[in-house]
Structures are given as structure tokens and as C-alpha cells.
Amino acid sequence: MNQQLCPRFEKAIEILSKRWTALIVFQLLAGPQRFVHIENGLPNLSGKVLSERLKELEQEGIVRREVFPESPVRIEYSLTDKGRALAPIFGEIGRWSSDWVELPGEASACCPDIAAAKPQPES
């Protein structure tokens, strides 16, 4: 079967397969977060790369950056409708990983919360 690759599908995979991008989106499924909270949730991710990925996700319309004019200025990142629409995909990846991905020394499934991934409602 010779099947043409859909350009939209190819672009979606290109966006989400960039290192750390999917994990940042997954982290934001829990709701709006400040930069440092995202960074702490992904301890092997450098601040420089996190900043780059957040800008890319904002340009793609997946993440919203909101600046609160307080002293000091507070900035929060959250998923747009486009970003929250990825929740069922992360749920399926979670189920697939529980069934098929093995880690050395692991006795049972370790990530039931991923399989139940649901975006937090917009506040």
C-alpha cells in the first residue's frame, strides 16, 4: 500500500516530537503554571530549552502566556483549546505505555494518572 503522508499529520508530529514539547504540554494539562513550576516538574529540562519550547508552543497556538501586571510581574502559562484537545491523545499514550513499555526493574504499571489525562478547566 503506497499512501501519501498527510501534510497536517506530518506537521503535528513535527511539533509534538520535538524534545520536551509533549512533556511540557502534559505538565500544563494540570492547569496554568508559572515558569518555575513547569521547570521543577521536569527536572532534567534546562530553563533555556523550556523558554524556547514555550515560545514555539505559543506560536503554534497550543500555549497561552499571560502577564499579570503585579509587582513583581507574574507570568503564567496555560493550554489553549488547541492544547487541551491533546488530552485524549496523552491518555491513549499512557494506556499504550502501561501495556507495552517496560522499564528495567519495574514490576507493574507506574503511571495510572497519565492514562486518565484530562485537562483542567480554564479558569
Q: Report the largest interatomic distance among the alpha carbons of the chain, rounded to a whole angstrom.
A: 60
| 5 in a structural domain | no
| 4 in a structural domain | no
Q: What cell numbers appear for 62 in the block?
A: 497550543
| 22 in a structural domain | yes
- Residue 112: pLDDT above 70? no
| Mean pLDDT value across the chain | 89
| 123 in a structural domain | no
| 62 in a structural domain | yes
What are the beta bridge partners of residue 108? Answer: none
Q: pTM of the prediction?
A: 0.84
- Residue 117: pLDDT above 80? no
Please count the structural domains in the chain.
1
Q: What is the CATH number of the domain that holds 52?
A: 1.10.10.10
User: What is the Cα–Cα distance from 74 to 68, expressed in whole angstroms?
Assistant: 5
At 22, give phi and psi (nearest 5°): -65, -35
**Domain span holding position 28:** 11-115
- Residue 24: pLDDT above 60? yes
What confidence tens digit (pLDDT) does each residue in 63-108 have?
Answer: 999 999 999 999 999 999 999 999 999 999 989 988 898 888 765 5
Q: What cell numbers appear for 35 in the block?
A: 515558569
Cβ atoms 97, 112 nearer than 8 A = no
